[in-house]
Amino acid sequence: MAQAKGSSAKVVAGFEGAYKAGAGAKGTVMPRVSFSGGASRTLNTSSVVTGSRSPSAPSAGNTDYSGNIVVPVDAQTFPLWLIALFGLPTTTADGDSFKHVFTPCETQPSLWIEKQFPELSGYLLGYGIKASSLALSATSEGEVTADIGLVGAGESSNGAAAVANPAELAFMQFQNFQATVKMDGAALSDRITEFSLNLDCGLDGDSYCVGGGGERGSIAEGVLGISGNLSALFTDKTLLQKGADNTTVSFAVEYVLGATKLLVELTEAKINRASPAIDGPKGIKESYSFQGFASNPADDAIRVTVTNDVESYSLA
């Protein structure tokens, strides 16, 4: 009997027409590093005593679709995950390219995601899924990946793929050496050793209803949580003073690959106060955490801009 292999397994995804509607006519093969998303259901131990020491049958608990997908940050497919996090972008022409600006939306679109195991003709279709978080970091080298949290309604097991011929987009992955970190518009060159960003969408997963078959009846959006960490060579007191003075700053991380770009901006942020440690005779480094926010409710606390050759995006 053949064993399913990760090398031949595929992850195919698309947007639903409505929450829990399942797969539509179109889907896209999603490159990934790893994917732990799926449905689980607990068994609740019975409290019934029947007159013997043998336990009674357990009862089924609610279905929890959750997990994470780690994906490469590229110019074509990663914007689909940004749509899951922020909704459709505002798109404008930029010379021969197109600029897509993503900002937080009131209602995130839901997805269906299918795990395909061709050796077993097995297809596990998750539905009613929303992106719950994003973790992204810039370091001195290596490929750029993003960790996206998922929460959903349920999963079905099928004998055929939901979409016979899913799209496979061109792959152009960003690299960390192409990144620039900026604070207040100025590049922190030859200083930042790591910059990490975490976005929590504040989704409400505690939404199980009577008569809902043990699945989430909805997944409502809450207040965003924006945080992160940065490490740097201690070459001046700029970061130290910003934290000590509780000064509001802006941050930006930009990846540039020719005409293709990815820009992540935090319009307002506060750095925590922290004193650099003296760990030994070598060069001293400093580390800080930060939180993003918007002092004006009408403003966007986070903004992501992708410049590529895609003319437009849609949920269909």
Contact between 221 and 201 (Cβ < 8 Å)? yes
Give the per-residue pLDDT at 300: 96
Per residue in 19-58, pLDDT tens? 999 999 999 999 999 999 999 999 999 999 999 999 999 9
Give the per-residue pLDDT at 50: 94
Per residue in 165-186, pLDDT tens? 999 999 999 999 999 999 999 9
Average pLDDT, rounded, for the chain: 96
Task: Give the pLDDT band (50/70/90) at residue 191.
Answer: very high
- Distance CA(256)–CA(104), nearest Å, equals 23
The position carrying tokens 């793929």 is 161
Give the per-residue pLDDT at 6: 93
* Long-range contacts from 215-222, C-beta under 8 angstroms, 24+ separation: 215/20, 215/62, 215/63, 215/128, 215/153, 215/154, 216/65, 216/128, 216/151, 216/152, 216/153, 218/19, 219/19, 219/110, 219/128, 219/130, 219/151, 219/152, 219/153, 221/106, 221/107, 221/108
Instruction: Considering only residues 2 and 281, tell me which one the structure prediction assigns the higher pLDDT.
Output: 281
Contact between 12 and 112 (Cβ < 8 Å)? no
Task: Give the pLDDT band (50/70/90) at residue 189.
Answer: confident
Does the pLDDT of residue 2 top 90, yes or no?
Answer: no
Contact between 46 and 87 (Cβ < 8 Å)? no
Per residue in 192-208, pLDDT tens? 999 999 999 999 999 99
Give the per-residue pLDDT at 142: 87
The arithmetic mean of pLDDT across residues 127-132, rounded, is 98
Does the pLDDT of residue 247 top 80, yes or no?
Answer: yes
Per residue in 134-170, pLDDT tens? 999 999 888 999 999 999 999 999 999 999 999 999 9
